[in-house]
Amino acid sequence: MVRFENVGMRYGAGPEVLRDITMDLAAGSFHFLTGPSGAGKTSLLKLMYLAERPSRGLISLFGRDIATTPRRELPAIRRKIGVVFQDFRLIDHLSAFDNVALPLRVAGLGEEQIHEHVTELLRWVGLADKLNARPATLSGGQQQRVAIARAVIGRPSLLLADEPTGNVDDEMALRLLRLFEEMNKLGTTLVIATHNEALVTRFGHARLHLENGELTQLRARERQAG
Amino acid sequence: MLRRRLDIPLNRDGSVRFLPWIIALMVYLAGLALSGTLVLQAALDHWNRSLTGTLTVQVPPAEAGAPDPLPAVLALLRGTPGVVSAEPLTRAATAKLIEPWLGSALTPEELALPRLVDLRIDPAAPPDLAALRTRLAAAAPGAALDDHRLWLDRLAALVMSIEATALAIVALIGGAAVLTVVFTTRAGLAVHHAVIEVLHLIGARDGYIAAQFQRQALELGLRGGLVGLLLTVLTLVGIGHAGAATALFGEDVRLLPSLRLALWQWPLLAALPLAAAVIAMLTARFTVLRALKRMP
Ligand SMILES: Nc1ncnc2c1ncn2[C@@H]1O[C@H](COP(=O)(O)OP(=O)(O)OP(=O)(O)O)[C@@H](O)[C@H]1O
Ligand SMILES: [Mg+2]
């Protein structure tokens, strides 16, 4: 599903922020991505959602070598990837509804279907009364939920979330994690970057740990009943 | 739900507010240049048509003692197939022609002026002018046939060079319009970089993003173009009125040329705003696609 071989990455002419990343995430797996601030978690996710290109090494997604994939085929691959950006990246002038609808519109779905799916999902994340609100008028946690809704609305095969629970209370964090688990059960592969050790421990999925741009893959722990 | 929705808020950019006005101005200038050439072309056609049916024959005065060559020339002309009529100008009429320059004190006899013959030919079956010339020269040495060709050719050359200049101006205006749209579009790309990146990352094709810019450019181009066209038409009508007011001595003696466009020329003028809109649209599309190619 996601395969990295000796991947290195640098921004411009800067130093390598990721070094020798080699990993193979199976389809349907669930990984937490941890590591101290500045370790390179966001950078690793950027490589996975095709926002950056590696400076060396090989990346393959869904069994396709990205370096040799023609540019015109990349949008189709991107549509199979849902991303929760660390800084949300909601579009200011669009309502919560239109922000969440964006991936479906880009994919060319009909408005009727879009309306149904988006309304239902926003209700599910507790924003039924904020459909028409602009992002700027929402709290940090509400914006984060809109961002998550936008990432999952297209039922992506691969979901990448960068600190998706950073701005919500524990109860909402649990609720969102359960949403992710539901998606995982339906076959979505997940990578969730987080600083929240409690969640990592509680959900006990495999962990990718970054330290100074290098990867230490820890063994998946026994899943704790909870 | 047919609500028009732009994912990229292009309609709120300051730079975009000026674009229709710039395009209006450009279409106006192009419209003036274009209608100028169209009017000139029409005038040339008119002169061509009214002058090609008439010729003038000049018969030099007879040498002292020789018989007057005029009757022989007239007989020759009238006997030529294709000639409808050949009427000599009376001496009095000839004198009147030169009176403004020489006054009335001198008579044509004293001046030994050439006699002029007004020749009307059948435009459908014109006589062989080259052959006619040779025969004229034989009948009356020094007789000349003037078919106004030289004058018309010079006029046509002048009109052509004016038209070429005007069309070059239209082309330059088109180039300026392209550059304006390129810069406006680039400004839009820069201002909305964040939104465009999000669209790109959630899997929007380049065409989807370009479509938003190109729809906007088409709309602004059309709006500006129509304003420009309106200004052009108002100007033409205005000059037409002013021209009519100067036609004191009848339609043929105007200080300003008649700025009337032929029926088939109006669609050509009306195509200008469409052309402006299409140029704006294609330019925006091309500019956006080029910029997006740089994204991974
Ligand atoms: N756009 C950029 N240009 C240059 N350097 C960058 C850029 N983004 C990140 N970096 C550098 O790359 C390194 C890794 O950053 P990254 O954002 O991946 O860390 P992170 O693990 O996500 O941190 P955090 O937990 O704080 O989000 C840092 O040293 C950072 O300074
Ligand atoms: Mg980060």
Among A82-86, A212-216, B280-284, the range scoring the smallest mean pLDDT is A212-216
pLDDT of residue B146: 79
pLDDT at residue A103, as a whole number: 95
Q: How many other CB atoms sit within 10 Å of the CB of residue A5?
A: 16
Complex ipTM value:
0.91
User: pLDDT per residue over A1-35, tens digit each?
Assistant: 899 999 999 999 999 999 999 999 999 999 999 99
Output the pTM of the full model: 0.78
Q: Does A107 touch chain B (CB under 8 A)?
A: yes
* Regions of chain B short of the pLDDT cut 70: 1-5, 14-15, 49-51, 102-111, 243-262
pLDDT of residue B288: 96
Q: Which residue of A has its CA nearest to B2?
A: A111
- What is the reported pLDDT for A36? 93
Rounded Cα distance between B7 and A99, Å, is 9
Which residues on chain B are in Cβ contact (under 8 Å) with A79? 202-203
Structure confidence at residue A167 (pLDDT): 80
> In Å, how far is A220's CA from the nearest CA of chain B?
30
Answer whether B202 sits within 8 Å of A105, measured CB to CB. Answer: no
pLDDT of residue B245: 62
- Please choose, from the candidates A211, A207, A205, the residue with its C-alpha nearest in 3D space to the C-alpha of residue A224: A205
Select the residue of A71, A77, A91 nearest B198 (Cβ to Cβ): A91
In tens, the pLDDT along A154-206 reads 999 999 999 998 888 888 888 889 889 999 999 999 999 999 888 899 998 99
pLDDT of A207 reads 92
Query: Quick one: pLDDT at residue B104?
Result: 67
For A160, counting Cβ atoms within 10 Å of its Cβ (0-12 exposed, 13-18 middle, 19+ buried), the class is: buried
The pLDDT value given to residue A226: 33
**pLDDT digits over A147-164, tens only?**
999 999 999 999 999 999
Domain spans, chain A = 90-155
Is A222 a residue whose pLDDT tops 60? no
Helix, strand, coil percentages in chain B from 3-state DSSP, rounded to 5? 65, 5, 25
**Residue A224: CB partners within 8 Å, gap ≥ 6?**
A201, A202, A204
Q: Residue B28: what pLDDT?
A: 95
DSSP string, A90-125: --TTS-HHHHHHHHHHHTT--HHHHHHHHHHHHHHT
- For residue B106, the model assigns a pLDDT of 64
Q: Which residue of A has its CA nearest to B198?
A: A89
Number of H helices, E strands in chain A: 7, 10
Does the pLDDT at position A219 exceed 60? no
Q: How many CB pairs under 8 A join A and B?
A: 53
CA distance A76 to chain B (A): 6
Of ligand 1's listed atoms, the one at least distance from the Cα of A163 is 27
Name the residue type at position B136.
L
Instruction: Sort out which chain B residues have CB atoms less than 8 A from A73's CB and list them.
Output: none
Distance separating alpha carbons of residues A212 and B265, to the nearest angstrom? 73
How far apart, in whole angstroms, are the C-alpha atoms of residue B201 and residue A78? 7
Nearest CA in chain B to A92: B195
> Residue B48's pLDDT is what?
73
What average pLDDT does this structure show over A78-96?
Answer: 94
H or E element, residue B230 = helix B206-245
* C-beta of A43 in contact with ligand 1 (< 6 A): yes
